[in-house]
Amino acid sequence: MPPLKRRGRRVRPRWMFQLGAGLGLVAGLIAIVGLVAVLTGRVGPKPMTLGYSELLVSLQAGQVDSVQVSPGREIRGWFTDARAGAASKRFRVVYSTEDVDPLLGAAAAAGVGISFEPEPADYEAVFATVVSVTFLLLMGLLLRRQFASASVDTEAGETSGAVLSFEDVAGNTGALSDLREIVAFLQEPERFAAMGARIPKGILMEGPPGTGKTLMARALAGEAGVPCFTASGSDFTGIFVGQGVARLKALFRKARKAGGAVIFIDEIDTLGGRRGRAHGHAEDDRTLNQFLVELDGFDPSVGVVVVGATNRACDLDPALLRKGRFDRSVTIGLPTVSEREQILALHIRDRRVPLAADVDLTRLARLMTGASGAELAGLINEAAIMAVRAGSSEVTWAHVEEARDRVLLGRAREGLTVCETERRLVAVHEAGHALAGVVFCPADPLHKVTIQPRGGAMGVAFFQPDHETHIASRQYLEGQILKGLGGRAAEEIVYGTGKITSGAGSDLQHTTRVAKQMVYRLGMGASTGLITYDPDSGPVSSETHSRMDQDVRLILESSYTTVLGCLRAHRAALEALADALMIEETLSGEDAIRIMEEAGLARELAAAG
């Protein structure tokens, strides 16, 4: 079947016009430079420069064919063919030509004709002028394009592609409920107007990156059956005065012309940040003022809703958040376990990914604690790529597990050469994490431990939470610190204090951060008690700050002492797990626990329970 042809005049892509215009400008500039070079004699052999005395000697020797005098500038001439060793037949003499009588006498005696040339135009000045004017014209054209881009590019803001609905969005049930109310406003504004209700002008979506804010805005427009115009906050900032204001006016003009519409502005904190933040932000403040004016100028009957997305709502200007502008605030948080399972199932359905029978989406959702919707989509895509690379007809659990490791830790560093001494050290380190986690943090069961280098890590111990937790107890936080210090403690026990390594660098950063949170934010310090420190509410006294630091250090040191005692008491289990890692490289949580239990860890677990 022949390909379909678009009816009517053929429309070339805009980038082809831009490319042609740019090439034309470059070609024109090159032509101008070449023409000026020819006019100024810059093309061809360069004339030889002589001194005045050398010219007189050449005249007496009969080596000069003719001489041309430019009054006030220079003397130019041509040698005869009898002149030997000359690099060029042309020559020039830089000499004050106000008094040319001595030259006339010498030329007459030699029988050489002299001509006088009227003072020529200053071609160097002409050249500089032409180049400057050309540069200014080019800059003017670029400026015009910058300002025209907001009004000429009528398709830039409108979302293309398939029309979405709430059926294409999984998770965030509460947010979807709020958005369904907005859909009713957009579909039946008369019904709400009859009751005296006004359609919300703005909706603020707040949440971390990758949680689906853009997807929800498109689904909102699709459900309401109206166009969706998308932009980023940075699209309205620039180095040119008035550029952001012009783009805002053009965007809102297009939305009003469309009747009912949704305007989605991602990273709205770039556009709507607090005014007067610092010097040099006057243009940004003018753009924000225009944004506020556009919001106030909405006719409620038009049915245009502005949706802004940000993960820094605290940086927004208060005038933007008042009632009558952004009336609603919708929190788009990270998905829960059940929502993660729904998101995984949605991506598998939409992409038609063939799953093997051993793939458990519920288990996978539990393993991806804290993952956003975008990360889950990347996981499914990576697993499908793994299956294709392996030549499999379906995605198995092994592909999913490998994809998860790659998403969380990075690609396996297969070409990295690690000596046996370092492999043993990494095995001891990860065994220490695994043992400490099993003993002190039972709420997070061990899922897997490996010494395979990935990304920036030489090994890792994965722990899988039993359930979602929204409130952390002191015991749980202390367990996180104890688990994090297990690697350093294992190194000290097996190799001694003098041979501890840099492998615990990230572990110490994590444990210090947790300890500081306990003292500075949660009032769990031994000496400071219920005092908390919040930089936004002002500083505390130097004495209180010092006591807080001492409490942080006390938590870390006491936790390290506890871990050392536990690992010393179960060194056999530690060594057994390290030996198994040297052989297998990767162990499941069940296998790792079985190995440690066989080495005597079960009695401690029973006592701890």
pLDDT at res. 144: 63
| Distance of alpha carbon 595 from the chain centroid | 44
Q: Locate 331 and state its tokens.
A: 């929190």
Q: How buried is 157 (Cβ within 10 angstroms: 0-12 exposed, 13-18 middle, 19+ buried)? A: buried
The secondary structure of residue 517, as a DSSP letter, is: I
Cβ distance 307 to 265 under 8 Å?
yes
pTM of the model: 0.66
pLDDT at res. 217: 82
- pLDDT under 70: residue ranges of the chain: 1-46, 71-73, 81-88, 95-101, 117-128, 139, 142-162, 238-242, 275-283, 297-302, 466, 536-538, 602-609
Q: What are the residue numbers of the active site?
A: 430
pLDDT at res. 600: 85
Q: Locate 366 and state its tokens.
A: 């539990």
pLDDT at res. 562: 96
Cβ distance 90 to 45 under 8 Å?
yes
Is the four-CA dihedral 122, 124, 125, 129 of positive or negative sign? positive
pLDDT at res. 434: 95
| Total number of residues shown for the chain | 609
Which residues, other chains included, contact 578 with Cβ-Cβ below 8 Å and sequence gap of 6+? 424, 427, 428, 431, 494
Task: Give domain 420-608's CATH superfamily.
Answer: Peptidase M41 (1.20.58.760)
How do residues 470-508 score in pLDDT, each as one tens digit? 888 999 999 999 999 999 999 999 999 999 999 899 999
Q: Locate 513 and state its tokens.
A: 């951060």
pLDDT at res. 128: 67
How do residues 406-454 score in pLDDT, each as one tens digit? 888 777 777 777 888 999 999 999 999 999 999 999 888 998 999 988 8
Comparing CA positions, the residue from 551, 491, 547 lying closest to residue 517 is 551
> Locate tokens 């016009």: which residue?
17
**Any idea where the domains of the chain sit in the sequence?**
22-152, 166-331, 337-408, 420-608
Secondary structure class of 122 (helix, strand, coil): coil
446-450 and 460-463 strand pairing:
antiparallel
Instruction: Please state which CATH class domain 337-408 belongs to.
Output: mainly alpha
The secondary structure of residue 585, as a DSSP letter, is: S
446-450 and 586-588 strand pairing:
antiparallel
pLDDT at res. 19: 54
pLDDT at res. 397: 93
Answer yes or no: CATH 3.90.420.10 is held by domain 22-152: no
Which residues, other chains included, contact 77 with Cβ-Cβ below 8 Å and sequence gap of 6+? 55, 64, 65, 66, 67, 68, 90, 91, 92, 93
Query: What is the chain's Cα-based Rg?
Result: 39
CATH number of this structure's domain 166-331, picked from the four choices 3.40.50.300, 3.30.310.50, 3.40.50.450, 3.40.50.1820: 3.40.50.300
